[in-house]
Amino acid sequence: MAALSSPATWRRGWLPSVQFIRCGSKAVTRHWKAMHFQRQKLMAVTEYIAPRPVVPERCVAPKGKEEEEEEYGYARLLRRQVEEAFRDNRMIAVCQYNYLPGEDMVLMRHYLRKHNIEVKFVLNEIIRPVLSQSRYKNLLPLFVTRNILLVSPETKVKEMLRVLKGVPQINLLGACIDDTILSRQGVENFAKLPSLEASHGQTLGTLALLPSQTCSMLQHAASHLSALLDGHIHQLQGQTGSPAGTEPTQSTGTQ
């Protein structure tokens, strides 16, 4: 005992060779239990059953292909309408469209329809491929934002500008008139030109003036010569005192 309690032994330290560790373990108290018969019936009754399609799936084409074909057909129809508008109309005006109340839009279309001008809404995705492959490709820079077309089989430029002046939400960007592309300033200058009938009258007057001047110039020399001869005859008549067309007679005494 004295050896065990000596200070040298406690100074070195002592550890037991065997250690007991208590591990806590939980008992499994929840086991699988069969569902009650009433609950099984309730779950079977309330189970969702998807409706069967009217047409069998094997008889229906994939939905994605149908949508693509329908969209492609509709886009082709819109492109054909744009091509017809550029082919059948002499005046195609490109305007920038801002928000306009429905009543004002109906009123504007009514005023334009009085002058045989139609309003067409177009999409840039539709009209840009059409213009890029036509002779109107210089109009492509105008189709950037939302645009509308004002088309007419006649060149009713003055009437169109008069209607657009009262609608500030519609801005004229340019136009194609008689296969000639014009800017906004060019359209305004075109509206100041006289009508086609007045231009025809001025042209005919100018063309008729040139032959009349030519004819007068050709007759000027003959008429001038005739006037000189008449003056010379009158001068001879004044000197001799005899009537015109008679020669002066000589007396026999002088012979």
Ordered by start, the domain boundaries in the chain are 73-190
Distance of CA 36 to the CA centre of its chain: 72
Structure tokens at 15: 């550890």
Please state, in angstroms and rounded to a whole number, the distance separating the CA atoms of residues 205 and 198: 11
Range with top average pLDDT, 3-7, 157-161, 225-229, 242-246: 157-161
**HSE, side-chain direction, 13 A CA sphere, residue 159:** 19
pLDDT in tens, 168-220: 889 999 999 988 899 999 999 988 887 777 777 878 778 777 777 777 777 77
Distance CA 175, CA 177 (A): 6
For the cut 70, the answer to whether the pLDDT of residue 115 exceeds it is yes
Rounded Cα distance, 98 and 95, in Å: 10
Whole-number average pLDDT of the chain: 79
pLDDT tens digits along 4-35 = 445 555 555 555 565 555 555 566 667 778 88
Lowest mean pLDDT: which of 13-27, 71-85, 112-126? 13-27
Residues facing residue 181 across a β-bridge: 176
Neighbours of 91 (CB within 10 A): 21
What are the backbone dihedrals phi and psi of residue 9, each rounded to the nearest 5 degrees, phi first? -65, -45
CATH of 73-190, one of 3.40.50.720, 3.40.50.300, 3.30.70.1730, 3.40.50.1370: 3.30.70.1730
pLDDT value of residue 255: 35
Task: Kindly report which listed range (33-47, 65-79, 147-161) carries the lowest average pLDDT score.
Answer: 65-79
Residue 43 pLDDT more than 60? Answer: yes
Dist CA 98 CA 169 (whole Å): 5
| DSSP secondary structure letters along 149-196 | EEEESS--HHHHHHHHTT-TTEEEEEEEETTEEEEHHHHHHHHTSPPH
Smallest CA-to-CA distance from 93 within 18, 153, 177 is with 177
